[in-house]
Structure 1
Amino acid sequence: MARRLRPVGLDFAETAPLRLVFAREVAAPPEVVFRALAEDVPGWSEWFSAVTLARPTGDGAGREIRLRGGTRFQETVLVAEAPEVYAYRVDVSNAPGPRALVEEWRLTPAGKGTRVQWTFAADGAAPFRLALKLGRAGLGRAFRQAVTALDRRLASTRA
């Protein structure tokens, strides 16, 4: 059953009751990484293994995301400031427990590449928050694998 989440703004990425922050450096420059995140939404399923479907909605103002296991999200893009920040809020989900959710991707130059920082900011029922805390290592691993796969994908398109 789909549930509407509380509409929050970008500041929620800093003020959420639960914030998980992960970072990794990639060889691709920030502009190229930003385009992959913000402009090639369908491409997410090619490099983020948990994503089975990603498509823009509302002329790019939103996204529809489906994950392995059947979790679905309808999202609103909160900010797309090339090449530094891409962030979105989950508006509707069939996942049990969340009340509010924002994901922020922050890109900064690092040497000849980019430092990619992903903030997963959430509020929800106590079991949901506990599950996220316990699943932190798994989310971190998924992030590292996804960003590594994205970097390989971007390198192959630059070659």
Structure 2
Amino acid sequence: MTSCRPETVAFTATAPLRVTATREIIAGPDRIFAALADASSWPRWFPGLDQARWTSPEPHGMGSTREVKVGPLRVVEEFIAWEPGVRFGFTFESTNLPGTRAGVELVELLPVTAHRTRVSYTMALEPVGLPARLAPPLKPVMRAAIGRGLAGLDRYLAQGA
């Protein structure tokens, strides 16, 4: 694992590689946030994510850490945004993803009605070396992957989770 440069939420507006997917989900923001905060649920609704587990003790919030595995890739995350019903975000502490200098993921929840929420998921990265040169064609792939994750979250919550 290689250490990453810690970043703030502001990185989502300045990172060299940024992608956002948005979906309206039939659930209130508090219910969506609860699903996001349940690390063990992520593999059930985010395709390709094999494991997500807290590496810091409860209660979880700002400064908490989590490890995520997607196939052979691993990321250790530190939470930099934790506002129940509003936003959920983390910076990369370390990863084995080649050529990743920094990363932030941010999920923002905007109520549309009492039972509908617009969910915006942004992934912001600073790739270096070959990954930086490959970044432009990867944007649609990354956006589609995040979109599948949001669709999975929608289905998961519709099933009563």
Q: Same fold (TM over 0.5)?
A: yes
Superposed counterparts of 1:2-151, under 5 Å: 2-38=1-37, 40-59=38-57, 60=60, 61-68=64-71, 70-111=72-113, 112-151=115-154
Name the CA shift for 1:131/1:50 in 2 (closer, same or farther; >3 Å): farther
After superposition, what is the alpha-carbon deviation per residue over 1:87-139, rounded to whole angstroms, capped at 9, x for unaligned?
Answer: 00111101100100000000101233111111111112142233332122222
Structure 1 portions without partners, runs of 5+: none
Gap change, CA 1:96 and 1:35, over 3 Å in 2:
same
* Higher helix fraction (1 or 2): 1
Q: Which digits, 9 at most, give the CA deviation of each residue in 1:20-60, with x for residues without a partner?
A: 1211111111111111112x111000001121000111123
TM-score, scaled relative to structure 2: 0.90
For 1:54-81, what per-residue CA distance to the aligned partner results, in whole angstroms no more than 9, with x for missing partners?
A: 011112301100002x000111011110
Given the superposition, is the C-alpha separation of residues 124 and 142 from structure 1 closer, same or farther in structure 2, using an over 3 Å criterion?
closer
SS of the counterpart of 2:160?
helix
Q: Is the 8 A contact 2:127 2:135 kept in 1?
A: no
1:157 aligns with 2:155: no
- C-alpha distance in 2, partners of 1:44/1:130? 30
Q: Distance in 2 between matches of 1:120 and 1:130?
A: 18
Report the aligned-residue RMSD: 1.4
Determine the C-alpha separation between the residues in 2 that align with 1:89 and 1:44.
Answer: 17
Give the TM-score taking structure 1 as reference length. Answer: 0.91
Q: Which amino acid aligns with 2:96?
A: N
Instruction: Report % sequence identity.
Output: 31
Q: How many residues were matched structurally? A: 155
Task: Give SS of 1:58's match.
Answer: coil
In 2, the alpha carbon distance for the partners of 1:135 and 1:37 equals 25
For residue 92 of structure 2, what is the amino acid of its counterpart?
V
